[in-house]
Every structure is written in structure tokens, then in C-alpha cells.
Amino acid sequence: MRDKGEYLFTSESVSEGHPDKVADRISDTVLDAYLSADPYSRVACETLVTTNRVVLAGETRGPGSVTPDLLMHLTRMAIRDIGYEQEGFHWQNASVECHLHAQSAHIAQGVDAAGNKDEGAGDQGIMFGYACTETPELMPAPLYYAHLILRRIAEMRRAGDVAVAGLLPDAKSQVTLRYVDGKPVGATSVVVSTQHEERLDQAEIKRMIRPIIESSLPKGWMCPDNELYVNPTGTFVIGGPDGDCGLTGRKIIVDTYGGAAPHGGGAFSGKDPTKVDRSAAYAARYVAKNVVASGLADKCTIQVSYAIGVSKPLSVYFDLHGTGRDVDEVKLAKVMDGLMNLSPRGIREHLHLNRPIYAVTSAYGHFGRTPDLEKGTFTWEKTDLAEEIRRAFNR
């Protein structure tokens, strides 16, 4: 995004009950099942969800204790946890098919460590990391608030709060913020579409949603009432996978930075940490966040690239968007090379990624979340390198 002038910028979010997010949740549930049984399992699980049907497909390598029956049971439990007990999509009644098969030996030979060869990247590709000072979580503000609105609605729904009685799991949000000289100053429009029981009328739903939006935004940021759009198409009773087919990996911009930063193109959910689409994107966010947390810059974008079967990254690129405080980006790259090993093995060991920590990442963004040291989740959101970065630049 620009650093000068006045402009509008928009990001969207989708809830855990959105069809694509249901698919992401199931794929990450499969991944967690394998990592629980063997931390070095290999998983690439894709999920399709539609009217009362779930299809799992992809490649795995792991212990025989992770059976198709177990995965189909865990799939149903994930759907129940999201809250689907509807005629067109019900955790108990949906057909669940498992078509996972063994990982290709040709892929495995490139990724596995052997002899003097270190563990290689699971695929070629480019990954990006980003951080900025727009929010305390060092995330772009439009996406952060779009996520927050839906997360609060979901938390209230799960808690049985009467203030949202009748709202159902499928929902989307969109937040447009006005920027002045590169800083967000308020919302110009907000869109929320939420599935609901047939008994609710649209005016009542808007009365439910408005205070949640207003309390989620900073004080004084609420958009004008005529720019608040709640269920703008009208009735939204048929939703979830019954209303629209869902697939793993179709919400990659929602998962990352809401369009405020580049995206390499690879999806995250259902992939074990040898897949650099996921692990290197986490590492890039970790590095970018620590650079901004160190106070050396207000914005940081990092690109890394890999070749399948090769352990070292082919390139590492830093861009501080002109916000660096007497920081040479070439020196910064050298400093970070000494602080963070960006090989697949280095990433997964530094961030402790070989654990069943992924189902919780599948909705409301993979970044800008709070690390849980006890559960080991969102380790890439820690800022434990910030002090070392400052020292390297004599700050």
C-alpha cells in the first residue's frame, strides 16, 4: 500500500463455517491426526465439501494407526465443532469418503535427508512474509478488523449468547478503511453477510451485528450507517457447503495479509512442514514481524524462494518500503541469515512445527494471532528475535 496521500483499502474475511474454511479445517484435522501419531509424517490432504458430502484426497506417509475410519470420524467431529447440524450439511448424516494414498516415492527421495544430503524443500516456489505497524499485532488493519468481527460473532454463537441467537456458522465480512499518509484513520464501509435461521428478519440481524462491528473497530472508526451492509442480498438461510461447494486452499489472501502484501500462490492447510508453501511462509512472517518489532522499520516484506529437493533457499529479498531507520537491507539480510536458518529443517526446528498445531490456524488467519507457549501454537508470531536484531544494528 502507498505511504502518501489519501486512499481507501479493503480486505475480506470468512468464518470457520464458510465452505472453503470447512474444507481447510478438515484438511488440517487430518494433518494433526498424522502428526499426533508421528511428528515426521508427510501429509498433503485436499478436501471437498458440498451438500451432505465430504471427500478427502491426497498423499500421506505415516503410521498405520491413522486409518481411514479414524480420519472419517475426526472429519465428523470437526464439522460438529464448527456447528453444522443442518438438513443440507450435518456432521452425523453427511457422506464422508477417504481417498488418501501413499506419497510418491519420487517426491520423497527429493525431500528426505540421506547421507550428506540435508532435508530438501517439498516443492519449488516463492513465499512472502509481511508485517507493519498498523495494529499492535503488526498486521494490516483492514484484514485484522475483518477477522476480528467474524471471530467475535463466532465466539458469541459458540457460547450460546442470546445477542446472536439464530445466527448460523457461515459468514463473510469486508472492511474498507480510509488511509491518510499511509495510516488508517477510520472505516468508510463494512459488509457482513451471515447465515441465519429462517425466523429472523434482516432488520433484526442488522441490530444484532452493528454493536459487534462497532466494538471491534477502534473508537470513532465506525462507518456511516448507510455504508453498513448486513446481508445486502437479503435472506441467507441456505449456507455452508449446502449453499456452495468448498475446497481446501481457496482463501489464501484471507489466510495471509488481505491483499496488502504479495502472496506466493501456495495454500497452507493440509500440508506438513516439509511443504515450504506453508513452513517458509510462516518463517517469512516470523522474520518480517521481528524486523518491525525491533523498531528498525514500520513495514517489512520478505520474499524467499526454493527448489524441490534443495535445502537452502535460492533467494532471500527484503523490502522496507522506505520506512527503514538508517537500515541497509543488504546488511539486514546478512544479519537475519545468522539468526534464522531458512532451510526446511531449520524452519521446522526453530518454530517447532512438527506438532499437531494446525487445526486452529484454519480460520481467521494464520498471522496476527497470539502465540500459546503451552500448546505450541502460532510460534511464528513470537518476537523473540527483535532484541538481537536491534543489537546487530547498535540500537
Decide if 316 contacts 373 (C-beta within 8 A): no
Question: Of 228, 197, 233, 198, which Cα lies nearest the Cα of 212?
Answer: 228
DSSP 5-71: SEEEEEEEEE-TTSHHHHHHHHHHHHHHHHHHH-TT-EEEEEEEEETTEEEEEEEEE--TTS-HHHH
Type of residue numbered 187 = A
Annotated binding site for ATP: 18, 170-172, 244, 250-251, 267, 271
* Dist. CA 323–CA 75, nearest whole Å: 45
Type of residue numbered 59 = E
φ, ψ for residue 189, nearest 5 deg: -160, 150
Annotated binding site for K(+): 46
Annotated binding site for L-methionine: 59, 103, 244, 275
Could you say which DSSP state residue 234 is in? S
* Dist. CA 43–CA 71, nearest whole Å: 13
Task: Report how far apart, in Å, the C-alpha atoms of 100 and of each of 18, 56, 72, 266 are.
Answer: 23, 6, 11, 20
Q: Please, what is the Cα angle at 375 between 96 and 37, to 5 degrees? A: 45
Annotated binding site: 18, 20, 46, 59, 103, 170-172, 244, 250-251, 267, 271, 275
Annotated binding site for Mg(2+): 20
